[in-house]
Amino acid sequence: MVKSVRVGLAGFGTVGSGTFNILTRNGLEIARRVGRSIEVTQIGARRDNPNCDTSNYDMTRDIFDVAKNPNIDILVELIGGTTVAKELVLLAIENGKHVVTANKALIAEHGNEIFAAANRKGVSVLYEAAVAGGIPIIKALREGLAANRIEWIAGIINGTGNFILTEMQEKGREFSDVLSEAQALGYAEADPSFDVEGIDAAHKLAIISSIAFGIPLQFDSVYTEGISQITPADIEYADQLGYRIKHLGMTRKSENGIELRVHPTLISKNRLIANVNGVMNAVLVKGDAVGPTLYYGAGAGDEATGSAVVADIVDLARSLDGNPDQNVPSLGFVKTEDTSILPIDLIYTCYYLRIEVEERPGVLAEITKILSEQNISIEAVLQKETHKKGRLIPIIILTHRVLEKDMNKAITKIQALDEVGEEITRIRLEYLDAD
């Protein structure tokens, strides 16, 4: 008789309940895929979840009971955070259990240590649900695209930020107004900084980049910039020039190192990823053999994320009795290599500039002269007129690719002009084509 795979859930909130409901509802289907049944043996949670019938299940208020339970093969960590969760995962590993987690902060900040501990004990730690919810981007990078040398990845990997920018784009609303609605709808927390300032996306990008390029996890090296300074005017001007503004995570490998950056980005309307709206996520991967590939879907939610959690459980269940040395490495590479992360000053990209100036003859000529002195060429200029005396007028400039350090010098000089009023708005622009 084939032995069942015994699963312990630690954490029973939104994702925990989604995972439980999928495992119980689709149990027969999953068993056919695995060749044995998967049973929820124990649930560790502070409180019951009204969305699940757990009357016939072993419940404990101490999540560490799950990590120490000798009758559990796989611990599923769904409590979030990086302190207790790290202690829980390391305890489970020490007790010889495989681990599945949806915790992007835990993996991004402590993954190197966790994977090393798992390797010593001959167990696996899987984390598909940690990035982009139900989109199987981790499996795509570690397995489906294993034949490729990954050139770059660009992703909309935070649904809250994408919802805010979509509402601003479609309805001309202010950032603060949409943020309040996102909080009321439960898309954003009371403290929304993790979402709107790019920290959540930076956690995910650090993981994606490590898998793509075979480097250790380096969350602290991700350049992060939020969307709180984006205005309806910027969105409108970008639209007139043929672009959408998205909060993009971007990682690219070049001869000089690896780019790791999260920031607002202009993307051509013609790109599929520019038309990903609402709370949806999308990741665009460019491989040398396959070319650009796009992965799209729900980036959050109980069963969308639960789907990715269960997929990891299925993978582990299939290989439970095999040789752990034959499993896919945690970061997709048997051996990682330390490659330098490029500081933001040393990246090349195009730029959108919005410069508020006094309406006087020769101002545009002064600005273009400064740009030329820094070897910055202009692709397009959009100059608005005003008939109100004393009011600043916006000059919108799109540039060709330039070193960020040179752009910073130019912006400093332009800002010092007497005719320039408000702080210059600078947004990076990416073409995301086959370059």
* Residues with catalytic function: 204
CA distances in angstroms from 84 to 13, 64, 66, 391, listed in the order given: 16, 10, 13, 55
Nearest in space to 85 (alpha carbons), one of 111, 49, 59? 111
What CA–CA distance (Å, rounded) separates 259 from 403? 13
Q: What is the DSSP letter of 218?
A: -
Q: Can you give the length of the chain in residues?
A: 435
What CA–CA distance (Å, rounded) separates 86 from 134? 23
Left (φ > 0), alpha (ψ -120 to 50) or beta: where does 158 sit?
A: beta
Cβ 198 vs Cβ 224: under 8 Å: yes
Q: Which residues of 291-313 are buried (b: 16+ CB within 10 A; e: fewer)?
A: ebeebbbbbbbbbbbbbbbbbbb
Residues 253, 166, 197: CA angle, nearest 5 degrees: 55
- Could you tell me which residues come within 8 angstroms of residue 337 by beta carbon, excluding any fewer than 6 positions away? 214, 215
Structure tokens at 250: 């971007």
3-state secondary structure of 102: coil
CA distances in angstroms from 3 to 6, 28, 98, 289, listed in the order given: 9, 15, 16, 41
Decide: residue 377, CB within 10 A, 0-12 exposed, 13-18 middle, 19+ buried: exposed
